[in-house]
């Protein structure tokens, strides 16, 4: 379903909308095969499937999220009940993220090798997949997560997106529903 949102962002860059294309619902895992079988003209995907899609003869990348900085974000989301069960989880996640980024800086070749193997890609394919991806260091996270910041704005865009398909009618939540106060985030120290 998130693919519809990404597709809308890509189409908007060309002055188009979802109404201008015929949508085929499929999992991200099916995308490369559908493209190869010529059952679709384009797919919304991400690594490692984007690497497989790029291998399809004649395929080319026509849009990446790096063309619209700040519109498409990946975050770690945790249910409030889990935070009650594991009170120090915020700090532990922040510490793990900081340590991961430090390993990327100190041992980039080994880090790439480990992640590429995990995703079933070659080292070069994984490096290519990371192009345009901004791994947010902890120092930038507080700014991104502040009230009215990029994450809240992104959640508001998602909450207001009209292209969702849902078998259950749900109220559209306010983005602040999803955000922990910045003071609760914990630190890597």
Taking the C-alpha atoms of residue 128 and residue 112, their distance in angstroms, rounded to an integer, is: 11
Residues 159 and 166 sit within 8 Å (Cβ to Cβ)? no
pTM for the model stands at 0.67
For residue 184, the model assigns a pLDDT of: 47
Residue 91 CA neighbour count, 13 Å, CB half: 7
CA distance 14 to 19: 13
Contact between 21 and 174 under an 8 Å Cβ cutoff? The reply is no
Q: How far apart are CA 189 and CA 69, in angstroms?
A: 29
Q: Residue 112 has what pLDDT?
A: 96
CA distance 130 to 135: 9
Q: How confident is the model at residue 136, as a pLDDT?
A: 85
pLDDT over 50 (residue 167): no
Rg of the chain over CA atoms, in angstroms?
A: 19
Determine the pLDDT at residue 186. 45
Per-residue pLDDT, averaged over 118-130, amounts to: 90
The fraction of the chain above a pLDDT of 70, given in percent, is: 85
Instruction: For residue 24, give the 3-state DSSP assignment.
Output: coil
**What confidence score (pLDDT) does residue 118 get?**
92
Q: Which residues, 6+ apart, have CB-to-CB distance to 3 below 8 Å?
A: 28, 44, 45
The separation between the first and the last C-alpha atoms of the chain, rounded to the nearest angstrom, is 37
Least confident of 36-40, 148-152, 171-175: 171-175
- Give 16-43 pLDDT, tens digit per residue: 988 899 988 888 889 899 999 999 999 9
Please give the pLDDT value at position 189: 41
The mean pLDDT value for 81-95 works out to 88
Alpha carbons within 13 A on the beta-carbon side of 54: 16
Among 171, 144, 150, 168, which residue's Cα sits nearest to residue 160? 171
């Amino acid at each position: 379903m998130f693919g519809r949102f990404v597709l809308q962002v890509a189409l908007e860059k060309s002055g188009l909308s979802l109404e201008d294309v015929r949508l085929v619902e499929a999992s991200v895992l099916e995308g490369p095969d559908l493209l190869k079988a010529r059952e679709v003209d384009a797919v919304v995907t991400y690594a490692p499937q984007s690497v497989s899609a790029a291998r399809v003869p004649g395929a080319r990348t026509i849009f990446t999220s790096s063309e619209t900085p700040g519109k498409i974000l990946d975050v770690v989301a945790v249910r409030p009940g889990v935070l009650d069960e594991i009170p120090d989880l915020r700090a532990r996640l922040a510490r793990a993220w900081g340590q991961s980024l430090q390993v990327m800086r100190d041992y980039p070749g080994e880090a790439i090798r480990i992640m590429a193997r995990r995703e079933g890609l070659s080292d070069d394919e994984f490096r290519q997949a990371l192009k345009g991806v901004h791994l947010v260091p902890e120092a930038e996270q507080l700014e991104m997560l502040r009230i009215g910041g990029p994450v809240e704005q992104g959640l508001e865009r998602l909450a207001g997106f009209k292209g969702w398909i849902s078998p259950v009618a749900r109220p559209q939540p306010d983005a602040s529903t999803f955000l922990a106060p910045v003071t609760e985030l914990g630190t890597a120290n």
